[in-house]
Amino acid sequence: MKKLLFSVMVLLLGFMQAAAQDIIINEEIYSQNFNGSARGDLYNFDNDGDFDLVTGVDNTTSQPQIRIFDLGSGSSTVIATASVNDVFISADFIDTDGDGDLDLLIVKKLFSDQSEILVAEQTGVGSGTFNTPVLIEQVPLIVSYVVIVDFDKDNLRDVIFAAHDPVNSDILWMKNTGSGFSVASPLLQNLPEEVNAMLPLEIDGTGNMDFVISMSDVHTAVYLASGTTLSQSQVIENFDADGIVFVENMLFLSLDQPGKIRRYQKSGTNFGVGQDVASSSDPYALVIADFSGDGLYDLAYTDLVCDCMRILYQNGAGSFDLVHEVPIGTGNSTPLYLYAADLDQDSQNTVEVIAQASGHSTIQLSTLWLDTDGDGVPNVNDTDDDDDGYLDVDEIACGSDPLDGSSVPDDFDGDFIPDCVDDDVDGDGVLNDDDACPFTPLGTPVGLDGCPELGIDEFALASTSFYPNPVTDRLYIDAPEGVSITGVEGYNLLGQKILEVSGQPESIDFSVYPVGMYIVNVLFDNGHVSQGRIIKK
């Protein structure tokens, strides 16, 4: 059974179904007087089968906190605290000490317009518990954005961050040495404004890690790496982007100034003219993944004017159709962040998306779940996703598609228990292990051995012969005198029907079947059935 991702400890605010294929669940995971939150992410820290959300809680009545919310149990754990006037900016995952587990890299903005970068080491692989954060870098600037990426291609993920004073911004690099981090060194200096978004991306094919960087109220541009420096290569837009995503050779930007989601085709080291994908008042966070399960990437973004999440599905022609507009801000809360992951870990090639709204009263999550049969129960909680009468776990075990109502497993007796997991395939009351005739047609009286009982006028049926047996190519059947064959059915030992012939065939071609044992039912014009076990060699 699939595990319920969100427990009853979480307040269910309600759901809204907008299409037959998916459903939105709104849940409140935190309620306390606070203002804002830090950028975080999703990961299964404690290996308990569900995801954990690390994010910030900036209380107005107590210390700001970094918390990890266990989305399975509804519990949360405080990882770090700060002084009342300080603010957490982000919490990211990285192995800081080379022990193979993911630690937390936490960035904190101090009241003095300086910043601190701290590390909270996980106490063991998959433990989900963390040591007290330790300061690793004091930054005399305000850190505005952080990315974790292997900048120098040594198979260790480094820390790249943007920091600014009232005049300029710098991009700095902290090299991961395998046992810690080097002192931050500049990659790019004296940018004219605060950096509000960065995307690491190999652009020019040299193997260096390049960047797409957005500066508030300035532009979004490509910066190519050469050694340990970055230099501007192309201005993509004369607007800043709050969301930057690259997928299938396409760059996507969420641009609040023109109110557009645009995409740009990559060609060599440049990006082409932008094409509008969606119009919105104030688009902010942006994620792209296959939410609908059709093999095409879809798009989700938040809008800070409508306080909503919009989800658009790709329609196959390269454009996108709006399928959901979900209000996710409540009161003074704002939909700040989006996270995408296979939350139910169902291996169905679908990704769920969570929008996080944070404000003065709650942290609310709005999650898009697939709901294949449109019954209002998301697949993660539905034991029969396609409503075909067969449990998902049985369909997976027997090789049929649990998301396709037209794909059903073999079920000889029609009891909605697939043959491959049915301990009485023919439904005659005799278990398969004790049944000498495990595929007796429904309604046929059977004896203790599971084979058809013979009446006074049926003894002649015992003389039905199958030859040669074992068979290599053609199987011949001789019927008793006085009756005629009206059909022949054959089954393998999994209960799967492998042949069905109407009329009175002279022989059956067995050369096309693998070596093994088969059950052959011969149907007669008097309504009786004779069954034989055939060995194919």
| pLDDT tens readout for residues 230-278 | 999 999 999 999 999 999 999 999 998 899 999 999 999 999 999 999 9
Contacts made by residues 425-429, CB under 8 angstroms, sequence distance 24+: 425/495, 426/450
* 19 or 428: which leads in pLDDT: 428
pLDDT at residue 59 greater than cutoff 60: no
pLDDT at residue 355 greater than cutoff 80: no
C-alpha 413/C-alpha 387 separation (Å) is 19
Mean pLDDT to the nearest integer, 155-182: 93
φ/ψ (deg, to 5) at 124: 180, 160
Asked if 452 and 346 sit in the same domain, the reply is no
115: left (phi over 0), alpha (psi -120 to 50) or beta: beta
* 110 or 454: which leads in pLDDT: 110
pLDDT at position 515: 86
pLDDT at position 465: 87
291: left (phi over 0), alpha (psi -120 to 50) or beta: alpha
Torsion of CA 468, 471, 474, 478, to 10 degrees: 30
Asked if 446 and 384 sit in the same domain, the reply is no
Q: Answer with the one of 388, 414, 437 that is the final residue of a domain.
A: 388
What is the helix, strand, coil percentage profile of the chain, to 5?
5, 50, 50
Percent of residues, the chain, with pLDDT higher than 90:
41
Q: Is 128 part of any domain? A: no
Considering 204-208, 471-475, 521-525, the range whose residues carry the highest mean pLDDT is 471-475
Prior bond to 335 cis, omega within 30?
A: no
Q: How confident is the model at residue 368 (pLDDT cuts 50, 70, 90)?
A: confident
Q: Answer with the one of 388, 413, 446 that is the final residue of a domain.
A: 388
Q: Is 18 part of any domain? A: yes
DSSP string for residues in 445-507: -B-TTSSBPP-GGGGGGGG-EEESSSBSSEEEEEPPTT--EEEEEEEETTS-EEEEEES--SE
Q: How many Å from the N-terminal Cα to the C-terminal Cα in the chain?
A: 40
Q: Is 270 part of any domain? A: no
- Which CATH number is 490's domain given? 2.60.40.3080
Q: Is 408 part of any domain? A: no
Domain count of the fold of the chain: 2
Asked if 381 and 436 sit in the same domain, the reply is no
pLDDT at position 347: 55
Asked if 339 and 427 sit in the same domain, the reply is no
CA count, 13 A, side-chain hemisphere, 148: 21
Angle at 125 between CA 121 and CA 131, to 5 degrees: 25
Mean pLDDT to the nearest integer, 99-118: 88
Q: Answer with the one of 388, 407, 441 that is the final residue of a domain.
A: 388
Contact 101, 95 (CB under 8 A): yes
Q: How confident is the model at residue 313 (pLDDT cuts 50, 70, 90)?
A: very high
Asked if 365 and 439 sit in the same domain, the reply is no
Q: Is 318 part of any domain? A: yes
448: containing domain: 422-536
pLDDT at position 459: 45
